[in-house]
Structure 1
Amino acid sequence: MFDHCLYFNSSALARLVEREWSAAYAPFGLTPAQGFVLRVVLAKPGCLASDVAQTLGIARPTATRLVDNLCEKDLLERRQGEADGREWGLFPTAGGAALDGPINGASAEVARRLRAQVGSDLFESTVTGMRKIRKGLA
């Protein structure tokens, strides 16, 4: 009945994928959203919350809330910018940096498992297609 419905299929897929990432990030005490924010900052230390929002395709207030959560967990810290005192760069703490290898390894394992389950070509084309749709609708 809804085989061709973008809303139904994307929502159903999101629920399934959310379960996979929740299980992968649970050992670190993180939600998937927190885990991805941490990964962005680990990859780009000194980035701004607006950079995180843009990278992940989320609203700035959502990115700020997630950064606040990670600061409370002592995984990230904000440092005032030297050139512009209004900007606050995001940096991993020692605890956050210690998760770099493990969290990226857990992420790679989820991606590997999903690729094996649905096939690498379908996995890649679906991710690419969804990114194009998201950009086209933004």
Structure 2
Amino acid sequence: MTNENLTNEADDNESFLHNCLYFTTNRLSRAITRMADEAFATTGLAPAYGYVIRLVVAKPGITQKELSEKLYITPSTLTRFIDKLEGKRLVERKVQGKTVLVYPTEKGRELEPTIRAASKKLLQTYQDILGVEAAVLLTQTQESTSDQLER
């Protein structure tokens, strides 16, 4: 085999990566996660925790079940998030029968504008790179694709 044939064979063996939804989605996820981590650095929270706070402030007394559904995470993952946020005194749980309700603390409410600003910074960052139309289209496409694949 010539060097050219070996190069073409290597290219063929790797080209599947660029046509693979699994690989390209993970690549995109890593890129947007880096951007989100940078945008949320001012909050002292990981982006996922910030979004929990935003939801809890918007709807005090939201159930853990509703939070996990809105965030598309398992109840056990959400429990860990809430544990951490309680430890930081940003939210508190109240049990009503078998239902666990989550409320923001004063400290959580005070942090919410900083979290909202971080969300806006993240949005602005990827819109600046992709363009507003492409960013909106990508988000909508991912949302509808996720819905289809989860069925």
Q: TM-score of the superposition, structure 2-length normalised?
A: 0.84
Q: Specify which structure has the higher proportion of helix.
A: 2
For 2:18, what is the secondary structure of its paired residue? coil
Of 51, 62, 76, the match for 2:77: 62
**For residues 14-66 of structure 1, what are the alpha-carbon distances to aligned partners after superposition, in whole Å with 9 as ceiling and x for unaligned?**
11111111122222221122111111112221111111111011111111111
Q: Which residue of 2 aligns with 1:89?
A: 101
Specify every segment of 5 or more residues in structure 1 that has no aligned partner in the other structure, as ranges. Answer: none
Instruction: Return the index of the structure with the highest Cα Rg.
Output: 2
**For residues 68-124 of structure 1, what are the alpha-carbon distances to aligned partners after superposition, in whole Å with 9 as ceiling and x for unaligned?**
11011100001223xxx2212101101100011111011111101211210111111
Q: Percent identity at matched positions?
A: 31
Equivalent residues of 2:42, 2:118 under 8 A apart:
no
Q: How many matched pairs?
A: 135
Specify every segment of 5 or more residues in structure 2 that has no aligned partner in the other structure, as ranges. Answer: 1-14
Q: Which amino acid aligns with 2:115?
A: I
Q: Whole-Å Cα distance in 2 between the matches of residues 97 and 65 of structure 1? A: 20
Q: Which residue of 1 aligns with 2:22?
A: 7
For 2:42, what is the secondary structure of its paired residue? helix
Q: Which residue of 1 aligns with 2:94?
A: 79
For 1:99, what is the secondary structure of its paired residue? helix
Instruction: Report the aligned-residue RMSD.
Output: 1.1
Q: Whole-Å Cα distance in 2 between the matches of residues 16 and 127 of structure 1? A: 14
Q: Which residue of 2 aligns with 1:98?
A: 110
Q: TM-score of the superposition, structure 1-length normalised?
A: 0.92
In the TM superposition, structure 1's runs of 4+ consecutive aligned residues that sit over 6 Å from their partners are none
For 2:70, what is the secondary structure of its paired residue? helix
